[in-house]
Amino acid sequence: MTDRLRPIPPEDWTAAQRGAAEDIIAGPRGALYGPFVPLLRSPELMTHVQQLGEYLRYRSAIGVRLSELAILVTAREWDQQVEWAIHAPIALQVGIPQDVVDAIARRERPAALLVDEAVVYDFCLELQRTRRVSDRVYADALALFGEQGVVDLMGVNGYYTFLAMVMNTARTAAPASSAAPLPD
């Protein structure tokens, strides 16, 4: 499949696109890649999306390790190769075991999850598949993470679902990665 919204050469950027791109490049991401390539067509939207993502990815109340787990579940549910290629290696670096990553890739429940990982996995899977969260799973998440953590967990799911929609529609190509692509 051909990438529908390929990178715009920097010399062709509008002033608004240049400003939005430079903000991303100067931030913790350090480059314009993945979903920000198609989003550059709407620089104001891209700026707001980037700010939300920066909070959810780097500073959420559930922490980076659990955010990365939630991102993997979301990427798998949306068959999103770009997010998988980017975040599977990061998940491993922040402490998500390889067997957990591999099970998620196969659409299987990982056999060995820590308590907090199991709560995040169940929450994300229910939210992604049924579009709601049961009372039991909500109560488990609330007990572990508090209201802010539950809201941030919902935010991670929604944000990465949005990015998956953008990249699946744009047919954004996955970058080179140490992670194996998601199986069909």
Residue pLDDT, tens place only, 116-162 = 999 999 999 999 999 999 999 999 999 999 999 999 999 999 999 99
Which pLDDT belongs to residue 40?
97
* Residue 1 scores a pLDDT above 80: no
Positive/negative CA dihedral, 69, 118, 143, 134: positive
CA gap 129, 77 in Å, rounded:
8
Q: Give the residue, 28 or 67, on which the prediction is more confident.
A: 67
Q: What pLDDT score was predicted for residue 101?
A: 98
Break the chain into its structural domains and give their ranges.
13-58, 63-169
Question: Distance between CA atoms of 68 and 58, rounded to whole angstroms?
Answer: 10
Q: What pLDDT was estimated at residue 184? A: 85
Reduced to 3 states (helix: H, G, I; strand: E, B; else coil), residue 110 is: coil
Q: Taking a C-beta distance cutoff of 8 angstroms, is the pair 173, 86 a contact? A: no
Taking the C-alpha atoms of residue 81 and residue 75, their distance in angstroms, rounded to an integer, is 7
- Virtual torsion, Cα 84, 181, 80, 92, nearest 10 deg: -10
Distance CA 142, CA 61 (A): 12
Q: What percent of the chain has pLDDT over 70?
A: 100
| Residue 79 confidence (pLDDT) | 97
Query: Residues 72-120: pLDDT tens digits?
Result: 999 999 999 999 999 999 999 999 999 999 999 999 999 999 999 999 9
- As separate numbers, helices (DSSP H) first and strands (DSSP E) second, the chain gives 8, 0
Q: CA-CA distance, 82 to 168, in Å (whole number)?
A: 9
